[in-house]
């Protein structure tokens, strides 16, 4: 326990303090002017209705102001004692790498490849539990949509509007996205970091294999979820049409299964299709059961919290409330 400077946990309540004092002052002046009320109320009845001086000659307005002031201070949550509590941070960290290249708009997987990839990612996020999750999107460039966070609900919200249409540059470069995912995991000092790639293929196979191997050497694992079919579908050009081959016919885009499997193998992870995305859960959760004792010691930390001392204002509040209930005052 530590003693620090007095501050308020809910300072917004303090805005009611000057308003209350002004109201009390105005009521005191208005009730002291009986001439105005005598036009509407008989003098005998007015003496019974008026809040003013009691039979002993004391005034309740000072107590009313004090009662309001103590109430506002109690609601504002005064705090000056800091408590130390043990805490533990989850070691599990997942970074989702979503492909937003133009080919992900193909419709060989209903309703589209990118939509199916988002569904798969959302299913895995629902099972994240205490894991920290991050989200990276790539096409011609790589963009961090969400750094590692325990706020899984926010990551799900950020995932929903992602599509190839919002990417500023077309392309299909997976290697920079893998490197960015590795940087996120390194920044948070995450042990047993897991990278989940959702893609139909990429244009830089050699660089992607090398990036996956580097992540594996750093203790991270790269899993791949393949999206699309071998039959393929016309490749959207991002302008409402389709990419054409030299003969003027729509060019088909197919899932690059072999390249995706090689990246997963190089990263020490598993390759699954989008329909079987949940089969990755045992692998993603494997770090929750290994090295449990080491993880508990390594992640222990002292968390500080301020104790709300507003409860100590309750006794004087009750006392003032009792005084104001005296006959002739209210």
Residues 6 or more apart in contact with residue 30 via CB below 8 angstroms:
36
Q: Are residues 127 and 248 in the same domain?
A: yes
Our count of domains for the chain comes to 2
Q: Are residues 10 and 134 in the same domain?
A: no
Range of the domain at 279: 93-297
Total-model pTM:
0.62
Q: Which of 150-154, 283-287, 298-302 has the lowest mean pLDDT?
A: 298-302
CA 4 to CA 144: how far, in whole Å?
Answer: 39
Dmax (CA) for the chain in angstroms is 106
In this predicted structure, what is the pLDDT of residue 272?
A: 96
Please report whether residue 316 resides in a domain: yes
Q: Average per-residue pLDDT in the chain?
A: 81
Please report whether residue 228 resides in a domain: yes
In this predicted structure, what is the pLDDT of residue 294?
A: 41
The domain that contains 218 carries what CATH number? 3.40.50.410
Q: Is 238 left (phi over 0), alpha (psi -120 to 50) or beta?
A: left
Q: Are residues 209 and 273 in the same domain?
A: yes
The DSSP code sequence of 220-253 is: -EEEEEE-S-SS-EEPB-SSSSB-B-TTSSBPEE
Q: Is the pLDDT of residue 317 over 70?
A: yes
Q: Are residues 131 and 253 in the same domain?
A: yes
Please report whether residue 19 resides in a domain: yes
Q: Are residues 153 and 229 in the same domain?
A: yes
In Å, how far from its chain's centre is CA 130?
A: 13
Q: Are residues 222 and 320 in the same domain?
A: no
Q: How far apart are the first and last CA of the chain?
A: 44
Q: Are residues 119 and 30 in the same domain?
A: no
Q: Are residues 164 and 57 in the same domain?
A: no
Q: Are residues 74 and 145 in the same domain?
A: no
Cβ atoms of 255 and 200 closer than 8 Å = yes
Please report whether residue 253 resides in a domain: yes
Cβ atoms of 41 and 49 closer than 8 Å = yes
In this predicted structure, what is the pLDDT of residue 209?
A: 96
Report the pLDDT averaged over residues 85-101: 79
Please report whether residue 330 resides in a domain: no
Q: Are residues 71 and 97 in the same domain?
A: no
Q: Are residues 244 and 160 in the same domain?
A: yes
CA 132 to CA 20: how far, in whole Å?
Answer: 46
Q: Is the pLDDT of residue 278 over 70?
A: yes
Please report whether residue 129 resides in a domain: yes
Q: Are residues 219 and 151 in the same domain?
A: yes
Please report whether residue 172 resides in a domain: yes
Tokens of 85: 């509590």
Please report whether residue 329 resides in a domain: no
């Amino acid at each position: 326990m530590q003693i620090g400077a007095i501050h308020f946990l809910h300072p917004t309540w303090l805005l009611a303090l000057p308003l209350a004092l002004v109201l009390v002052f105005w009521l005191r002046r208005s009730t002291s002017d009986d001439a105005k009320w005598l036009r509407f109320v008989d003098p005998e009845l007015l003496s019974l209705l008026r809040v003013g001086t009691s039979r002993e000659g004391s005034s309740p307005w000072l107590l009313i102001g004090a009662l309001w002031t103590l109430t506002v201070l109690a609601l504002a949550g005064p705090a000056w004692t800091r408590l130390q509590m043990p805490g533990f941070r989850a070691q599990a960290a997942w970074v989702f790498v979503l492909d937003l290249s133009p080919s992900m708009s193909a419709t060989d997987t209903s309703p589209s490849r990118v939509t199916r990839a988002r569904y798969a990612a959302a299913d895995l996020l629902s099972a994240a539990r205490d894991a920290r999750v991050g989200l990276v999107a790539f096409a011609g460039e790589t963009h961090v949509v969400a750094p590692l966070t325990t706020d899984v609900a926010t990551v799900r919200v950020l995932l929903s509007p992602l599509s190839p249409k919002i990417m500023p540059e077309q392309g299909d470069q997976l290697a920079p996205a893998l490197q960015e995912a590795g940087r996120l995991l390194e920044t948070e000092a995450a042990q047993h970091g897991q990278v989940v790639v959702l893609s139909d293929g990429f244009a830089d196979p050699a660089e992607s294999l090398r990036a996956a191997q580097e992540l594996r050497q750093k203790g991270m694992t790269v899993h791949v979820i393949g999206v699309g079919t071998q039959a393929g579908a016309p490749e959207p050009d991002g302008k409402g049409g389709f990419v054409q081959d030299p003969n003027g016919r729509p060019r088909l885009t197919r899932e690059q299964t072999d390249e995706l499997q090689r990246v997963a193998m190089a990263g020490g992870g598993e390759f699954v299709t989008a329909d079987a995305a949940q089969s990755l859960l045992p692998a993603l959760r494997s770090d929750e059961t290994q090295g449990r004792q080491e993880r508990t010691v390594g992640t222990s930390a002292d968390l500080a919290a301020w104790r709300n001392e507003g409860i100590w204002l309750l006794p004087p509040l009750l006392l003032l409330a009792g005084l104001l209930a005296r006959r002739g005052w209210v």
